[in-house]
Structure 1
């Protein structure tokens, strides 16, 4: 249970060197109690730091496990300043009444540009030629060196990144085919194919742009690589767990695939001091990058704005629109009201119980919105400012309450 805190009492813990835009958004909104740390913390340090935090902002290295969240008694919001949220135990966060926000679109362009650049470099044999020249050689040859114009790029996953890549690739004269589990309206002259196997057997270069789901886990293994065309190329800038690395290694060794570009891996170093281990390191014709698809200044600036703005909207208004693990509620404020944010167990009868208690206490509800997700319900109510203390007292009697907050 919590009353509304003054903004100078609300503490933000920002890790992993978030862009200055995030700090600017928070400070412009009146939040000054911000601790900004340039790196990820190990579990013991994180547990100690998170104890007094109301909001935490992270990127991909910080692991917010159930054990860590159990120590975060004051935490009310988590921001992943990136696309992925698999570094957070989303179910545990929801169970504890903590919405998780991310930036699903802010680095779209950066990833799409990297993939297109890698496609061009692979087709020109640049990785291998670059390695040869660095070793003092001079492999000047047009063998296996081609323009991308006229080649067919197969995009697996036609979401925000896949569709933008589609437009960029077509502008280079490439033919675009794509496969998605949903029927998606194509952009430009792209064509959706019926199956992954059809895409793999047709495309000259295959690129993955899918989320991390049970259905995408190791979706590319020996069976799928066997469907790919002789002399084709492979790119993964999606999720490391989508590809069986040993099977990719084998197909590269066989020469069936002429090259690859991999930005994400099943196991990645937790810091720059830890050595990266992978059987792919031995190939000169493979581009390996350290999970930097969205690591441009432009993307990080946009991400800083997007996620910090979601923090402000939730802290100021209780707005959970676009939360990845939480019921989405967004209603406008009414003048002369105080807002109650009630997070509760999703069982039948909670709303009718609250309305009955308020009616018995002669508390008039001026606005109300309830949404549920999984085992949690989120109720936002506006009441007359004279009634907010009484309303809080009534909510304390609701056994299913996880947490409640009042916004003044």
Structure 2
């Protein structure tokens, strides 16, 4: 199933007035081949769009998403069960990312032009005139994450960085929030169309098979992924095994170890345990800063100092809710860090229904942690989505 800009026309309701049924029409299924043909054609046109114009397009997307907040946030709440206050803040972060890239584009901060003039007296031998810049790679396939339905989804940082680089984007929607994905794609695509962007600059596909097939298609030139280690490794291998291997930009999780010194434990042990539990359960345990293993001087004392936890809730967190799941998550596993640490062994347990109690155990979580920076794909990532082009001596500067 695919959403394309042609399905969101100016004759439809404006983003601020749209309802899910208006902004998300029937979404007639398009073959993947058609979507990728459109993306390839958009890539040719997008390459000629200057940075200042890309900045204007990103600003238009940000404005449209902000205007549609009253429609988008309730849909996100219904599908993700995350609190509306959290989702409102996340949408603001998402549009901030759009505007931040737009500002960098407009200022020239994302340009990567280097000129080495000819020098016949260069000590290593006469140097020719060498000039280097970057050009867009082409269509980028972005896999949306489950736990941030705005900031790491259809219009998230991966999508914005690719658009800033001059690349069309095909987003593989996450099954955890399909209606929101379609609605966001409709709003963003309509904004791009109204702003005069190349047709089909942003498209949406759904389904694991479609995503895997797209990774292997010659028209896709790069992949962005945030999700489980198992799913990411699988997609990375598909990208690497192509006859023409392509870049795979993936965040597949991290451990975030915490080390508590004896002096620190003696001075503020209770505060450390409480803070650890709050960090572990923040955002239903879905933040990238979530600690995965803790080393403590006294295991029994640490376990005893942890605050009470119930299903989906910690007494130290203000945003309880069901844990969003990743469609490619691995089964939870656990292994105690110290053999014979009976208290830790008893406490080391996991549950898919809520964030498990933090314990001094080495463990893997049902879903991998995610990024939390305001600019997940920084200016360097924009350059990463382009390839170098050198001009021969005597050619015009780019």
Which TM-score applies when normalising by structure 2?
Answer: 0.28
Which of these two proteins has the greater Rg computed from alpha carbons?
1
Higher normalized helix content (fraction of residues)? 2
Point out which structure has higher relative CO (alpha carbons under 8 A, 6+ apart). Answer: 2
Bigger proportion of residues as strand: 1
